Structure formats: structure tokens, C-alpha cells
Amino acid sequence: MSGRRVGIMGGTFDPPHIGHLVTAINVRHELGLDEVLMVVANEPWQKVDSRKISLATDRYEMVQAAVVDDEGVEASDIEIRRGGSSYSVDTLEELLANEPGVQLFLVLGADAAAGLDSWERADDLDSLCTIVVVDRPGTTSEPPERFQVVNVEVPRLEVSSTDLRARVRDGRPTTYLLPERVRELIEARELYSCGE
Ligand code: ATP
Ligand code: MG
């Protein structure tokens, strides 16, 4: 008997936006996945020195709010519960230990895939999961050659959390770029109102 097919989309999700959701929903459809987990990084080790990251709990609540209407897409706090720096390889191993036989698909935008060489225990990824890469407008780099990847076509949306944080800060529109429930949470928590 073959196990469930589960997609893992890791991210900082500060905030989660339609680029993330459209990717998750379409990869799930194209690959016939049972579900896609949006895994919220506790400490995104590649970003911690460059800007102030919102609380992991706020980012997790935003992801929960973002996926309420999407069947088969779930928020996961597995990396928050584990604490410390968040490495995908640890998450994949934990998910496999919890559900023997599960088939894991690590879903990455092209920008993230281009940096795979620098990931913790990058050599172990291939044996734990199938690496799935989607195009990301603005990124032309390819994943390092030593990684075997599956490319999936999804609608290309030039949306980023960085741009959305700047929009909130400057009072520019975020309608349709962010799920309405996420917009409400940002307003209620006064996130992104100052600084980067
Ligand atoms: P930031 O600008 O803060 O880096 P981001 O928009 O890149 O935020 P992340 O949380 O860094 O969002 O990304 C999580 C994952 O989602 C990464 O694999 C990234 O490549 C992918 N991703 C983000 N935005 C898009 C998009 N518009 N289209 C496809 N993939 C995306
Ligand atoms: Mg990013």
C-alpha cells in the first residue's frame, strides 16, 4: 500500500500572500497530492540577520487565516513546536517518522531552489522527498545541478511578502494580493506599520 502524498511548502510567510496560495493549490492539483502543508518557519535562519521578522505565532495565525477556505491546504506549526532554527530536513524527517510510508514533496519557488546548496544537510533532501520547483517571476536561476527536481507550471504572480510589507507601511493597496482575513489580522495586530 502506498502512503499519502503530502506537499510541504515552507516559508516565513510574513505575510502569506496569493503567490503562496496559488502555488499550493495548483501544485496539489497537478501532482494529485492529498494535502499541502504550509510550514511556518520558527526561525528562518537565512533571514534573521537582515530584518525584523514578525512573531512566529502571528505568522502562523496569518497562514491559518489564509487557508481556511482551501480544502487540502493546511497551516503547520511543526517547526514552531520544535523551536530553534528551522531546517526543512528536520521537518521532513519528523513527518516521515510520524507517518511511515508518507510520500513527501518539498515545494519551492525558483528563488528558494536556487539556494539549495546552502541548506542544512542538503545532500539528504533527495532521499527524503521529491523536490518540486515552480517558476517565480524575477528569478532566472536554476537549481544546482546535483538536485533532481520536478518542475510544475503554476500561474506566475509577481507578488512577494517584501513588497506587501512595504505596501502596508506606505498605506498602498493590498486588496486581492492578500486574503481578506490576512489583511484583517495585519490591521488588528498593527503589523508592518514601521521599519523593514
Ligand atoms: P520575502 O519577500 O519576505 O522573502 P516571499 O514572498 O519570498 O517573502 P517566503 O515566505 O520567503 O515568501 O517564501 C516561501 C516559499 O514560497 C518560497 O519557496 C518561495 O520561493 C515561494 N514563493 C513566494 N512567493 C511566490 C510567488 N509569488 N510565486 C511562486 N512561489 C513563491
Ligand atoms: Mg522569500
Half-sphere exposure for 108 (CA within 13 Å, toward CB): 25
In a domain, 171, yes or no: no
In a domain, 36, yes or no: yes
In a domain, 72, yes or no: yes
Given a contact cutoff of 8 angstroms between Cβ atoms, the answer to whether 113 and 87 are in contact is: no
Query: CATH number for the domain including 24?
Result: 3.40.50.620
In this prediction, residue 1 carries a pLDDT of 57
Cβ atoms within 10 A of the Cβ of 14, count? 25
Q: Is the pLDDT of residue 44 over 80?
A: yes
Cα separation, 64 vs 80, whole angstroms: 14
* Residue 91, phi then psi, degrees to nearest 5: -65, -45
In a domain, 177, yes or no: no
Which amino acids bring their CB within 6 angstroms of ligand 1? Answer: 11-14, 19-20, 23, 108-109, 111-112, 134, 136, 157, 159-162
Residue type, 120: E
In tens, the pLDDT along 144-195 reads 999 999 999 999 999 999 999 999 999 999 999 999 999 999 999 999 997 6
In a domain, 183, yes or no: no
pLDDT-based confidence at residue 137 (cuts at 50, 70, 90): very high
- Global pTM? 0.96
In tens, the pLDDT along 57-105 reads 999 999 999 999 999 999 999 999 999 999 999 999 999 999 999 999 9
Domain region containing 126? 5-159
Q: Tell me the H-state helices in the chain.
A: 18-31, 56-67, 78-82, 88-98, 110-114, 122-128, 161-170, 180-189
Q: Is the pLDDT of residue 19 over 80?
A: yes
pLDDT-based confidence at residue 45 (cuts at 50, 70, 90): confident
In this prediction, residue 28 carries a pLDDT of 98
Give strand pairing partners of 184.
none
Number of folded domains that form the chain: 1
Alpha carbon distance, N-terminus to C-terminus of the chain: 49
CA distances from 2 to 30, 54, 95 (A): 19, 39, 16
In a domain, 93, yes or no: yes
In a domain, 16, yes or no: yes
Averaged pLDDT for residues 13-24: 98
Ligand in nearest proximity to the CA of 8: 1
Ligand in nearest proximity to the CA of 112: 1
